[in-house]
Amino acid sequence: MRPKHVPGQLLTLVALLMLGCAVGADKREVPSSQRWTSRAIPEARGEVKEIEGKRVQIRYRHEPFSTFTVNYEQWPTYAYSDNRVFSQPARVAMPDLKGDPARGRQLFMARNKAPCTGCHLIPGDDVWPAGSVGPDLSVIGDRRLPDRYLFELIWDPRLFFPNTSMPPWGPAGILSAEEVVHIVAFLQTLKGNPPFVPPPEKDPTRNPHTRPTILPYYGDNLDPATNPAVVFADNALSVWSAKGPAGKACADCHPGGPEKAMKGVATKYPKYLSAYRRIMSIGDLLTVHTPETTGREMLAESADNLNMTMLIKMQSNGMPVNVDITSPEAAAAYERGRAVYFKRVGQRNHACADCHEADRGAGRYAGARLLSPVREGLTKHFPLWFNAYLGVWDIRKRFQVCMLPLGMNYLPADAPEYADLELYLTAFDNGKPMSVPGIR
Ligand code: HEC
Ligand code: HEC
Ligand code: HEC
C-alpha cells in the first residue's frame, strides 16, 4: 500500500528520490495459497489506519511496542506481496565543513540516532552499554584512514562491505552528511599511546570483548511458583471442557483429556495443513479450528489462544521437536522461511541473520544483550513468560518486536510469512526436547 502524501512524508519521499530512490520494486507474483485474512486481535494485525489525518500502525498498547510510535510503512517488510527493496549503494559528496570531534562523540553515542555504541566500543567511562557486533574502534585514528573513506563508509557501508550488518545511515535518513563529518572528526581523534594500544580499561564488564557472559537464571521454568505462565495454561482447562455456542467442547471430539489427546501433537508444529493450504503453528490452527468446531472465537494473540497453545504444547514437554521439512509443501515453505530470515527489511535494512547468525552478530553483544545463535534453537520454549514485560509471549510477538525498533512495521501475528519463518527456525530444534512455557 502506498502512503498518503502528508507533508512530512512528502519531504522524506523527495529526499529519497534525491538519493536515487531508496526503495525500488521488483515484480514477483504472490502464490494464492500465501494470501490470508488475519484472524488476530486488532492490535496484532499490523494494520495501518488514518487517524486525525496521520497514518499510524495500530500496535499493542503495552511496552515495548508502545515505545515505537513511528509508522514505518515507507520501508520494505516481510510481506510476500511487498516487492520493494532498499536502494543500491550510492556515493554522495562529502560536505566541505570542518568536523567538530565533541559533537561527533555525542552523535556516536546518541540513542535516538544509531547508536554506534550498540555495536562498537570506544574509550570513556560514560560508554555503556557498548556492543561488539562491529570491530572495536578505540584506536581507529591510528590507522590514518582518509576522512573521505570513513565518510563514505559511515554514510553507506555497503559500498565496501556488500553484506554488512551495519545499517546505511545516510540513505536510511538517520544521519545527515554534516553529522557524518562530525563523527569522522571524532573517530580520527581515537589514538592509542603508544599507537594501536587502547587505553587500559578499569572495568572489564564495560568492554564487550572481555565482558563475562552471565546468563540470567530464572529457575525451573515448569514450576508454577517460578513461572506464572504455567498457571495461565491451567486456565485453558476450563475452555477445553466447556461447550461452545455450537454445542461442542474440545473434550467431546478429543477424548481422554489434553494429556492423552494432545500428547506429542505439538512436536510436529508448525506443519503444512492441506485444509488451509498453508503452514500453521498450534496457535494459527486454533484461530480457525476452534470456531469451526465449537463456535467459539480464538483469535491469535488473545489470552484464550495463548493459554490453549501452552496447554497443548505442554503435553509434548520432554519429547523431541520433529517438524517435517521434506514433504513438497513443507520443503517449499522452509525455503520461503529461509528467504524471510535473510531478507533485508525496514529503515535500517537489517535481516534476522544479522543478529542471530554465528558469522554475523550471534555470540556477540548488541548493546548489553548477548545475541543467541539460531542454530542453538530459539523456538522450543515458546510461548514463554517474559519477565521484563510481565506477560505471556508467543514466538510471533517476538518476531513482531525484533524488527520494530529497526524500522519495520510488523505483519499480522498469524501471517503465512511468519509461519514459514517459524518453520525454518524450528527445524534447528529438531531432536531437542520441548520445554513450554519458557521464561526470559
Ligand atoms: C548493527 C551493528 C552496527 C552499528 C549499529 C554500527 N556499526 Fe559500524 N560496523 C559494523 C560491522 C559489523 C562492521 C564491520 C564491517 C563488516 O564486515 O560488515 C562495522 C564497521 C565500521 C567501521 C570500519 C571499522 C574498520 O575497522 O575498518 C567504522 C568506522 C564504523 N563501523 C563506524 C560506525 C559508526 C560511526 C556507527 C554509527 C553511526 C556504526 N558504525 C554503527 C556494525 C555496526
Ligand atoms: C467437532 C469435533 C471437534 C471439536 C469440538 C474440536 N476438535 Fe480438534 N480436531 C477435530 C478433528 C476431526 C481433527 C483432525 C483429526 C486429528 O488430527 O485428530 C482435529 C484436530 C485438532 C488438532 C490437531 C491435531 C494434530 O494431530 O495435528 C488440535 C491441536 C485440535 N484439534 C485442538 C482442538 C481444541 C483445542 C479444541 C477445542 C477448542 C478442539 N480441537 C475442538 C475435531 C474436533
Ligand atoms: C538488531 C538485532 C536483532 C535482529 C535484527 C533480530 N533480533 Fe531476534 N533478538 C535480538 C535480541 C537482542 C534478542 C534477545 C537476546 C537473545 O535471546 O538473543 C533476540 C531474541 C530473539 C528470539 C528469542 C530467543 C529466545 O531464546 O527466547 C527469537 C526467537 C528471535 N530473536 C528471532 C528473531 C527473528 C526471527 C528475527 C527476524 C525477524 C530477529 N530475531 C531479528 C536481536 C535481534
pLDDT, tens digit, for every residue of 399-434? 999 999 999 999 999 999 999 999 999 999 999 999
Q: Is ligand 2 within 6 A of the CB of residue 246? A: no
C-alpha distances (whole Å) from 298 to each of 159, 267, 304, 317, 385 are: 48, 21, 6, 23, 20
Ligand 2 contact, 253 CB (< 6 A)? yes
Give the confidence band of 26 by pLDDT, cuts at 50, 70, 90: low
pLDDT exceeds cutoff 50 at 6: no
Spatial separation of the C-alpha atoms in residues 29 and 338, rounded to whole Å: 18
Q: How many CB atoms lie within 10 A of CB 417?
A: 24
Instruction: Please state the φ and ψ torsions of residue 141, each to the nearest 5 degrees.
Output: -60, -30
The count of other CB atoms within 10 Å of the CB of residue 421 is 27
Answer for the pair 333, 327: CB distance below 8 angstroms, yes or no.
no
Terminal-to-terminal C-alpha distance of the chain: 36
Q: Is residue 289 very low, low, confident or very high in pLDDT (cuts 50, 70, 90)?
A: very high
| pLDDT number for residue 1 | 39
What pLDDT score does 217 carry? Answer: 83
Residue 214's pLDDT band (boundaries 50, 70, 90)? Answer: confident
395 pocket-lining for ligand 3 (C-beta < 6 Å)? yes
Are 298 and 288 in contact by the 8 Å Cβ rule? The answer is no
> Is the CB–ligand 3 distance for residue 354 below 6 Å?
yes
The answer to whether residue 180 scores a pLDDT higher than 50 is: yes
Closest ligand 3 atom to 440 CA: 27
C-alpha 412 – ligand 1 centre gap (Å) = 32
Average pLDDT over residues 136-143: 98
Q: What is the pLDDT of residues 379-405, one digit of tens each?
A: 999 999 999 999 999 999 999 999 999
- Given a cut of 50, is residue 270 above it in pLDDT? yes
Give residue 120 CA to ligand 1 midpoint distance, Å: 7
- Cα 235 to Cα 143: distance, rounded to the nearest angstrom: 62
Closest atom of ligand 2 relative to the 262 alpha carbon: 29
Residue 265 Cβ inside 6 Å of ligand 2? The answer reads: yes
pLDDT of residue 8: 41
Of 125-129, 145-149, 229-233, 252-256, which gets the smallest average pLDDT? 125-129
Contacts of 313 (CB under 8 A, 6+ apart): 266, 282, 383, 434, 436
**Ligand 1: residues whose CB is within 6 Å?**
108, 114, 116, 118-120, 133-135, 137, 140, 150, 153-154, 161, 164-166, 169, 175, 183, 187
Q: Which three cell numbers stand for residue 342?
A: 535473510
pLDDT score recorded for residue 218: 87
pLDDT in tens, 307-359: 999 999 999 999 999 999 999 999 999 999 999 999 999 999 999 999 999 99
CA gap 92, 405 in Å, rounded: 27
pLDDT at site 294:
98
User: For 101-110, how does the pLDDT look when each residue is reduced to its tens digit (9 = 90+)?
Assistant: 999 999 999 9
Burial of 151 per CB tally in 10 Å (0-12, 13-18, 19+) = buried
The contacts of residue 53 (CB under 8 Å, 6+ apart) are 6
Q: Residue 311: CB within 6 Å of ligand 2? A: no
Which has more pLDDT, 213 or 243? 243
